[in-house]
Every structure is written in C-alpha cells, then in structure tokens.
Amino acid sequence: MRALAALVASLWLPAGGTFYSVRPAGGALLLSGFADRGPTCIWATVDPRRMRLLRTHRGSCASEAKLSGRVSPSVVYDPHSPWQEVVLSNGRVVFRYEDASDTKPEWAYGPGSLWIYDVWTRRGAEAVRVSTVTGRVVQRVRMPKMFRPLLAADADGLWLAPATNGGLSTGAEPQPVLHVAAGSRSAVVVHRGGRAALWILAHGHSVWMEQIAGTSRRSLWRFDGPSGRPHLLVPHAGFFAAAAVWGGGSIWAAGAGLQCTREHIFRIDPASGRTTRVATVATGSCEPLGGEPQGIAFAGGAVYFLDPPWLHRIRP
C-alpha cells in the first residue's frame, strides 16, 4: 500500500444535534442529523470551497426535500403503537414496520430510483422502489429476512449485504450478497462468503464490497453487470474501512485505526483494487462518520467526511 500527502481542512459543526450525513447539494454541502432535543432533525449548509458554515435549519425530519430538492423518506412515529410509518416527502406512505433496534428502515438512491428496505413490515421483509421523478412507488419485492443490511443502488437495481451486526443469521458464515433488479419479483443471491460486509458501493454497472470473515480476514470484491459476476480483487485487504464513496473515477474509503485515534482516507483503484492511503486525521471516536455510510461524500475533487462535531475535507 502506498501513502501520499494531502491537504486537510476541518470545520467545527454547530451544537444542538448530531450530524450523520453529508452530500453535495447544488454548489454547497448539505449536512443532516438529529436534534439533541425533541422529535426533530437538524441540517446545515456549508460552503465547500471556504469550509464555512452558511446556515443551519431545524424542523420536521420530513422537510429535507425542501432543502435538497429530492424525494426523501422519513419515519413518522406513533407513541401509541409499535407500528410506525415510513413516509415520503410528498406525503405518500411507503409501508408500516414494527419498530425495534434491529428493524430500522434502510434506503439508498440509484439512477432515477429511491430503494427502501425493512425486515419487519406488515408484509414481512420488503424492498420498495420509488421513482425520484414521479415520487410514486413503482415496485414492491418480498425479501429474505436480512437484519441490518448495508444497501447500495445502481443502474442494475438494489444490492444488499449484511453489516457486521446483522445478516440472515447474525455471526453465521457464509452470508449472502443479494440483488434485486428493477422490475423483478424476488431477490437473487450473487455471492456467498464471509460473515459480513464492512461497506458496499455501487456505481454504473459494478458493485464493490469489503468483506470480513472471522474476526479480521478482509478481502475486496467487485460484482459486475446485472448478474453480479464476482471478482476477487484483493484476497487480503490491507485496510479496514467503514464507508466508501465514488468520485473522480476512484473509490474513496474511510476507516478508523485499530486504536480509534486516527481516521484514514484511502483511494482505491476500481479495476485492480490497488489502494493508496491519502490522509490520516486525528479522531476521538471509534465511530466517526456518525456510524453511517452517508458520512462520506466526494465533491469538487475533494473528499468530505464527518467526525462529529467535525467535518473534514481531504484534498489529494
């Protein structure tokens, strides 16, 4: 593994909530999170060039669409019922699910589609595809009961892999990688191996995944085309990432060191899996990125990642 020097800039984020998501929105960055008090969300817009806070917002978690201009889901909680509603920003109810620590809804955006999955809806495990053009539900698929999956979406549909605390059977090996094609009625298994995925990323017609087996054996995989043809890129991965994003023709991954004092940013060649460490940032947590894959973004030739209460920019 090679190491390169990079320029690092950091911004202290406003108090009042915990940010878990960062993404480009027009010429700015939009940060999303949960407010410290009350059933509300908090947002911040940031000038990425100057790394300066522009504005903060607070309100209903269903209000993101007004800020981001895209169809987005949110959970509307009923304190008198175990069944909660997943509602789109246009007011449409996607489904109801029974809320528990391992039944939270997950979602991912692909070209023209928003995919939403939950393991415990009134119909059982279900994946739903929403058109981001019309805001309508266009596909429902009965799914295997995969708890706490990681999701990615691309031109070929939805991809699911178990997180380290989830799976069809938590801790069992081998675990499957599932694919749901647009218009299909069921999920198919494209790969079995290891016990979990550390991250999964889809772009164009390929999917990349860092897989872990046992307690520490890591490998890097790529799955190509609608059939998800598997390719083992790196049998023994020399990095340990928690999230990844596509940008500028490369994969950018972030992960904490074993002592939880540093966050490493890697650039991965999507064809060969060759990895270069481009930056290391001091951190005080084993769960930077807000513990969420949405905690890393690429915009304007730079990588941005959350390490609450900091937002860092890495310019290779």
pLDDT tens column, 250-278 = 999 988 655 667 788 999 999 999 999 99
Residue 204 reports pLDDT greater than 80: yes
pLDDT of residue 260: 67
Are the C-beta atoms of residues 209 and 197 closer than 8 Å to each other?
Answer: yes
**Arithmetic mean of pLDDT over the chain:** 89
Q: Residue 282 domain-assigned?
A: yes
Q: Residue 37 domain-assigned?
A: no
Q: Residue 7 domain-assigned?
A: yes
Query: Buried (b) or exposed (e) across 131-164, using 16+ Cβ within 10 A?
Result: eeeebebebebebeebbbbbbbbbebbbbbbbbe
As a whole number, mean pLDDT of residues 35-43 equals 83
* Residue 196's CATH number: 2.120.10.80
Q: Which domain holds residue 193?
A: 2-13+99-315
pLDDT of residue 48: 96
Q: Residue 26 domain-assigned?
A: no
3-state secondary structure (DSSP) of residue 221? strand
Domain count, the chain: 1
Mean pLDDT lowest for which of 7-21, 56-70, 130-144?
56-70
How far is the CA of 117 from the CAs of 72, 88, 110, 201, in angstroms? Answer: 14, 14, 14, 16
pLDDT of residue 182: 94
pLDDT of residue 258: 57
pLDDT of residue 66: 63
pLDDT digits (tens, 9 = 90+) for 227-248: 999 999 999 877 678 899 999 9
pLDDT of residue 4: 55
Q: Residue 235 domain-assigned?
A: yes
Q: Residue 57 domain-assigned?
A: no
